[in-house]
């Protein structure tokens, strides 16, 4: 079935499944099959922020003062975040909009992807503030082997789904010959690709991002690069909402009331989905090797970050009903939670808790010469 931007068929929008039903026509939010997506949209809109609101002037000084190996940790972490948000700013739209079939979910996808673009803009804001040559940072993302390796794992499920859906919209279901190759196109197959894509997106937002947040906050724990930490707090608040969105989607699929075939597929692919979590955790631990190759920093090293990867992976697996994969039970970075809690985001530098107030600097001795300038 070819995609149409305004489906002229008459159907009851409330009865459509989340994906692979009728193309959405009227964007209406008065009646919804799944009100949770509307709530997510409202929440995300209420979180709207602009990167320029956050003052980064102290970060410039802080960055210059960092030792070389910590500059490497900071910039590599930032490059990885840029990669993740670059992908997330476009892929939910490109991959999911052509197959979504509920207006509230369609709009949530657009709102979600839009908020990721704000994150991308904030990274440019950070880089402009701390390095004189932004191109050096951005260009390295494409040439750096350690980073491009991550990109492959992150994009393959999206790319696979996009390619499959393109063929489906062109040729419909069945056996076809495309550019001399035999291809089998079926909606069931696309549903499988969709399910795995959503699992990998959930892993990206709920694990990969959080591991990068740990690095950002580790700097702030030592009262350096605090402007960056404020931005990361705002980003983390958005990501919590996004991961809730994918958790709901995965759960609705697994339950079966949305689309019984999807429940079958979720059961069939459970092991593969579980493996996506475990593989991502291993990749994140390998990445930690690269981050700390020139030396670790106070509060964070390869081992502790590795433990955090395992801890957060367990949490996220349990949240969607998978058995945890690792033995660790305690959060090795308990200070993360207060950074992640964004209640107290204060963008003005003068309101930051400054630990450098001078103490005991008042000279309270008084001599008679001090009054020499007074006259009555």
Partner 1 sequence: MAHIIKILDGFSFIPRKELTVLEALEQQDVVIEYQCREGFCGSCQVNLIDGDVTYTTDPIAFIPSGKILTCCCQPDSDLTIEIPGGCRVKKRRR
Tell me the closest approach of the beta carbon of residue 56 to partner 1, in angstroms.
24
d(CA 217, CA 60): 17
Tell me the closest approach of the beta carbon of residue 213 to partner 1, in angstroms.
10
User: Binding residue for partner 1 (CB under 8 A) from 76, 101, 200, 247?
Assistant: 247
CB atoms near residue 110 (< 10 Å):
17
**Minimum CB distance to partner 1 smaller for 152 or for 329:** 329
Q: Which stretch binds partner 1 (CB under 8 A): 97-105, 220-228, 288-296, 311-319?
A: 311-319
Alpha helix (H) residue ranges in the chain? 35-46, 57-65, 68-91, 103-130, 134-143, 145-171, 187-203, 209-221, 226-255, 260-268, 270-291, 302-319, 336-340
| Number of residues located near partner 1, criterion CB under 8 A | 27
d(CA 22, CA 1): 10
Ranges within 249-268 binding partner 1 (CB under 8 A): 251
**Minimum CB distance to partner 1 smaller for 168 or for 308:** 308
Which residue(s) pair with 100 in the sheet? Answer: 19
Determine if residue 257 is left, alpha or beta; phi over 0 gives left, psi from -120 to 50 gives alpha, anything else beta: alpha
Catalytic residues: 123
Q: Which stretch binds partner 1 (CB under 8 A): 73-81, 162-170, 242-250, 265-273?
A: 242-250
Is residue 237 within the footprint of partner 1 (CB under 8 A)? yes
Q: Is residue 25 packed enough to be buried (19+ CB in 10 Å), middle (13-18) or exposed (0-12)?
A: middle
Tell me the closest approach of the beta carbon of residue 163 to partner 1, in angstroms.
30
**Minimum CB distance to partner 1 smaller for 281 or for 297:** 281
The DSSP call for residue 299 is T
CB atoms near residue 209 (< 10 Å):
26
Tell me the closest approach of the beta carbon of residue 106 to partner 1, in angstroms.
18
- The contact mask relative to partner 1 for 331-350 (x = CB under 8 A, - = no) is x--x--x--xxxx-------
Q: Which stretch binds partner 1 (CB under 8 A): 24-32, 129-137, 273-281, 323-331?
A: 323-331
Q: Is 137 helix (H, G, I), strand (E, B) or coil?
A: helix
- Select from 253, 254, 155, 246 the least CA-distant residue to 202: 246
Q: Which stretch binds partner 1 (CB under 8 A): 12-20, 157-165, 283-291, 319-327?
A: 319-327
Q: Which residues of the chain form contacts with partner 1 (CB under 8 A)?
A: 36, 39-40, 43, 236-237, 240-241, 243-244, 247-248, 251, 315, 318-321, 329-331, 334, 337, 340-343
């Amino acid at each position: 079935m070819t995609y149409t931007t305004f489906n002229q068929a008459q159907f009851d929008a409330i009865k459509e499944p989340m994906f692979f039903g009728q193309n959405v026509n009227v964007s209406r939010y008065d009646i919804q099959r799944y009100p949770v997506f509307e709530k997510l949209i409202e929440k995300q809109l209420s979180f709207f922020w602009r990167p320029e609101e956050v003052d980064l002037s102290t970060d410039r000084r802080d960055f210059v003062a960092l030792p070389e190996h910590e500059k490497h940790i900071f910039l590599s972490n930032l490059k990885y975040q840029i990669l993740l948000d670059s992908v997330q700013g476009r892929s939910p739209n490109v991959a999911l909009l052509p197959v979504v079939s509920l207006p509230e979910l369609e709009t949530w996808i657009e709102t979600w992807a839009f908020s990721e673009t704000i994150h991308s803009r904030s990274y440019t804001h950070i880089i402009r503030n701390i390095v004189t040559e932004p191109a050096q940072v951005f260009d390295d993302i494409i040439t750096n082997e350690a980073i491009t390796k991550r990109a492959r794992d992150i994009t393959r499920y999206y790319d696979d789904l996009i390619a499959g859906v393109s063929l489906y919209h062109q040729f419909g279901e069945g056996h076809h010959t495309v550019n001399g190759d035999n291809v089998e196109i079926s909606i069931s197959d696309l549903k499988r690709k969709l399910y795995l894509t959503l699992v990998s997106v959930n892993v990206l937002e709920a694990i990969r991002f959080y591991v990068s947040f740990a690095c950002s906050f580790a700097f702030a724990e030592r009262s350096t690069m605090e402007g960056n930490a404020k931005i990361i707090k705002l980003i983390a608040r958005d990501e919590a909402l996004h991961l809730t969105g994918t958790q709901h989607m995965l759960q609705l699929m697994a339950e079966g009331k949305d689309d019984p075939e999807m429940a079958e597929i979720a059961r069939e692919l459970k092991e593969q989905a579980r493996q996506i979590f475990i593989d991502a955790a291993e990749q994140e631990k390998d990445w930690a090797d690269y981050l700390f190759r020139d030396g670790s920093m106070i509060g964070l090293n390869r081992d502790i970050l590795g433990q955090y990867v395992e801890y957060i992976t367990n949490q996220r697996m349990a949240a969607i009903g998978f058995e945890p994969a690792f033995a660790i039970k305690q959060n090795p970075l308990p200070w993360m939670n207060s950074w992640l809690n964004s209640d107290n985001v204060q963008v003005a530098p003068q309101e930051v808790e400054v630990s450098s107030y001078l103490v005991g600097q008042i000279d309270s001795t008084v001599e008679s010469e001090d009054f020499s300038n007074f006259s009555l």
